[in-house]
Amino acid sequence: MQRSLPAISDQRKADFLNETVAQLEISFEFGYMNPEQLELIEKKAESINRMLWKLSKSLEKSEDRYR
């Protein structure tokens, strides 16, 4: 019998990414990066968030298909 990992909600996935962005913003406030670096990272984080959301939706559809 194959065991599956517990599902992580979409909201929890978004929370992980939001927490990472918050930590980066704190790093910016303490002077560890400049505004351009922070902006670039935030744009990449947004892109990653969209990819994760699409992947999550795709996996849900795939799971529904095999039930």
User: pLDDT (tens digit, 9 = 90+) per residue, 21-55?
Assistant: 889 889 999 999 999 999 998 899 889 888 888 88
User: Is residue 30 in some structural domain?
Assistant: yes
pLDDT surpassing 70 at residue 61: yes
Number of domains in the chain: 1
Domain that holds residue 34: 11-65
User: Is residue 21 in some structural domain?
Assistant: yes
pLDDT surpassing 90 at residue 7: no
Whether pTM exceeds 0.85: no
Question: 20-54 burial string, b = 16+ CB within 10 Å, else e?
Answer: ebeebeeebeeeebeeeebeebeeeeeeebeeeee
pLDDT: which is higher, 2 or 13: 13
User: Is residue 3 in some structural domain?
Assistant: no
